[in-house]
Structure 1
């Protein structure tokens, strides 16, 4: 999956999710995912547990995205993997992706960078009820070739998703 199309797809997914989260957080009605939707990780030593998590399925991939303010920046994390993933099989970044976008510092970190390493493991994939869960970890590098990287540990997700 290390190609420009996936990088563009990931960036567009992060941006679309940011817009979706921003719009849906303004609504007073209940979130479709309810209180059971979850995304969490330790990002660069900081706890990441966004209040709003969204999942989408498009063009053969499922993306789980959430955003939160961490010390000094607003951060959106996107976990992407094929909708044909085998349950409990570790996918490296040739087959899955992590992307992290920061808004105050305007950076994008991606598992598609050749220096990045890590994995995504899907533990639940229910296409009938559109539910997905799993875990992830890795070191992802600046998507535009900068020397900086972000360490993501103990990542987990559990949410429903919408197909587009």
Structure 2
């Protein structure tokens, strides 16, 4: 997923009036304020009630659902890959994401922050939420690199 395709996707969601928050590697890069590595995909969290618009925007951009584990996540393949994660928001701004086998992932309201990608202010997941998502499984080399970039950027601030 190139930075240009990230901008195209975000522009499309902006035009459709759909709020998204970036997670995964691009989400860490948003917190760091620069691209730290190449990315296979763009991970997006969104309000579950916006699912029809999310699918419509991605379809219009040439994406098709490749892995559909609704309501857990859906991976779209097209010009690149976009992995979407629907969230059920509570009135207090917190959210819940369905997981496999009945699991639930909790997002406190403080998990939704802003970062910067290529000078553009974007919604993204907080450093705390990113660290939480990088726990409970064996980390890959890119996960270690992401966490190191995040830790380094936070120390510089």
TM-score in terms of structure 1 length:
0.26
More helix, by proportion: 2
TM-score in terms of structure 2 length:
0.26
More strand, by proportion: 1
